[in-house]
A = this chain, B = another copy of it.
Amino acid sequence: MPNVREPIKESSKEKKQKIIDIGFKLMCEKGYHNVSCVDIAASANVSTGIIYQYFKDKLDIFIAGTKLYSEKLMFPMLNALENKNITKENFDKILRNMVDDAIKAHTLTKNAHKELMSMSCLDNEVFAIFNCNEEDATEKLVRNFPKVKNIKEKVHLLINMVDNLCHEIVYHKHENYDYAFMKEQTIKLIEYMMEDVYEN
């Protein structure tokens, strides 16, 4: 990546961070294609020129944001399950905590998630970061259940189910849907799927 340099001074680092934060926020709120670099520069109170000293191009800003925020989206799952000594008795509680944390995280970064999904569909690099983070998350969770066959696949399904539930609750706004029931049902399904797992 030529012609792109890293900020050294503290104030410059803050500037770069500001570009990521505000740029990514704008892109998520208004849509990647509806925000120009001039907009970002203006909102971040920097010159347009400086953007191209710290980022290859506009997409590079989005990718930087993605790296930061997609981890935050994945983090609740990790946080809840990782390094926990999971037993038949505490699994339900741990699982419920994880789901609640995930919902909270999705709520906080509502717009980010929409745009991230959109971009991950359109751009391979964004997609790769997503996948990579997801795999990392899976990998970490898997360590809790070392001896089980297909635990990788099960954890993946788990992540997807929780994610789906979050989307449902945070975005879909179907009227007349009983979201409490959906949450219970999801937990129930996960517990059923993991039944043969936490027993070893």
Contacts and interface: CB of A to CB of B under 8 A. Distances in A.
A135 B119 CA distance: 25
Contacts of A185: 150, 153-154, 157, 193
Given A121-B117, A160-B168, A189-B193, A135 B174 contact: yes
A172 B31 contact: no
A45 interface: no
A89 interface: no
| Chain A interface helix/strand/loop/mixed | helix
A156 B135 contact: no
Given A114-B121, A117-B121, A118-B121, A152 B177 contact: yes
Interface bracket on A:
35 or more
A1 interface: no
A131 interface: yes
Nearest to A163: B164
Copies of this protein chain in the complex: 4
A156 B131 contact: no
A186 B157 contact: yes
A199 interface: no
A161 interface: yes
Interface of A: 31, 33, 114-115, 117-119, 121-122, 127, 131, 135, 150, 152-154, 156-157, 160-161, 164, 168, 171-172, 174, 176-178, 181-182, 185-186, 188-189, 192-193
26 contacts: A31-B122, A33-B33, A114-B122, A117-B118, A118-B121, A118-B122, A127-B171, A131-B174, A150-B185, A152-B176, A152-B178, A153-B178, A153-B181, A153-B182, A153-B185, A154-B185, A156-B174, A156-B177, A157-B164, A157-B185, A157-B189, A161-B161, A161-B164, A164-B164, A188-B193, A189-B189
